[in-house]
Chain A
Amino acid sequence: MSFSIKKEGEVVVVDVEGQLIVGNRQELKQKVLDELERGEKKFLIDFSQTGYIDSSGLGVLVSLSKKIREQGGELRLANLNDDLKTLFELTKLDTLFQIADTRDRALHSF
């Protein structure tokens, strides 16, 4: 499990590879907060290579969403598979996040 970060235009894109769970959520949080501190405003988290997400992982996404919004930024999520979509629907987090089917759609939605 790991996270890779790169810049696509003005957007910071984070790929979540493997699981996003209690054991690694802080790493994701810190990476995004570091970018936010550097002045970045637009963030996209891509889940195309993600296995499963637990409640801690969901909690970190909620927390990051708030922090980014407080700094006047925007967060988008992309490429949730059917199981991850179900997870977001069960927790109603699909109503809190802007979720795109593809990376391109998310990038063009800013």
Chain B
Amino acid sequence: MVEVDIPSDVRFIERVVELVLRECEFMDFAHRQIMLNVPVALTEAISNAILRGNRDNPAKNVHVRAQVDATQLIVEVGDEGEGFDLDASAVDPTTPENIEREDGRGLFLMRKLMDRVESVELPHGNLVRMTLHRE
């Protein structure tokens, strides 16, 4: 299990992703899951929590909790912001009118790369829970 609080600073994202990947490697997740699904989806979730949830406020933390076993990874990313509607920014970035947009691919990738993505509103913040079954 990985449980860590980081300040709202994007420079910490890679280190947290590395911690979770180590657990997935230990549980023998598939190469593609370790090289693509987990790092990209988790980077998106933490980045969302820092930039949208906590609005880049360094005084606010992001809480990451990952449980890995032989069957699945469940990772939760919580922020201390005022809450945001994860789905409000949902666009299909693959359509001709959106393909050249610089933004709008984060949630799309989380949903494509994880088996399940849930958003839970907390009293003080927002929590995203993602599940990936081991291949």
**Chain A residues with a Cβ under 8 A of chain B:** 1, 19, 21-23, 51-56, 58-60, 62-63, 66, 81-84, 86-87, 90-93, 95-96
Collect the chain A residues with CB atoms within 8 Å of residue B10's CB.
21-23
Contact pick for B35, options A51, A54, A59, A90, CB 8 Å: A51
Given A23-B14, A95-B99, the answer on whether A83 and B36 have CB atoms closer than 8 Å is yes
B44 touches A55 (CB 8 A): yes
A21 contact set on B, CB distance < 8 A: 10, 13-14, 43, 47
Minimal beta-carbon separation of B42 from chain A (angstroms): 9
Kindly provide the distance from the CB of B108 to the nearest chain A CB, expressed in whole angstroms: 7
Query: Once bound together, how far apart are the Cα atoms of A67 and B97, in whole Å?
Result: 18
Residues of A within 8 A of B113 (CB): 90
A63 CA / B100 CA spacing, docked (Å): 8
Q: Across the two chains, which residue of chain B brings its CB closest to A85?
A: B36
- 28 A-B pairs, CB-CB below 8 angstroms? A19-B39, A21-B13, A21-B43, A22-B13, A22-B47, A23-B10, A23-B14, A53-B40, A54-B106, A55-B44, A55-B103, A55-B104, A55-B105, A55-B108, A55-B109, A56-B47, A56-B106, A59-B102, A59-B105, A62-B100, A63-B102, A81-B35, A86-B32, A91-B93, A91-B94, A91-B109, A92-B99, A96-B99
Instruction: Look across to chain B and name the residue whose beta carbon is closest to the beta carbon of A58.
Output: B105
Beta-carbon contact of B106 and A90 below 8 Å: no
The interface residues of chain B lying within 8 Å CB-to-CB of A95 are 99
Which residue from B11, B36, B101, B112 sits with its C-beta under 8 Å from A23? B11
Q: Supply 10 further A-B pairs (C-beta < 8 A) apart from A19-B43, A52-B36, A59-B103.
A: A19-B39, A21-B43, A22-B47, A23-B14, A55-B40, A55-B108, A58-B105, A86-B32, A91-B108, A92-B99
Contact of B43 among A1, A22, A96 (CB under 8 A): A22
A1 to B11: give the CA distance in the assembly, Å.
Answer: 11
Q: Which residues of B contact A1 (CB under 8 A)?
A: 14
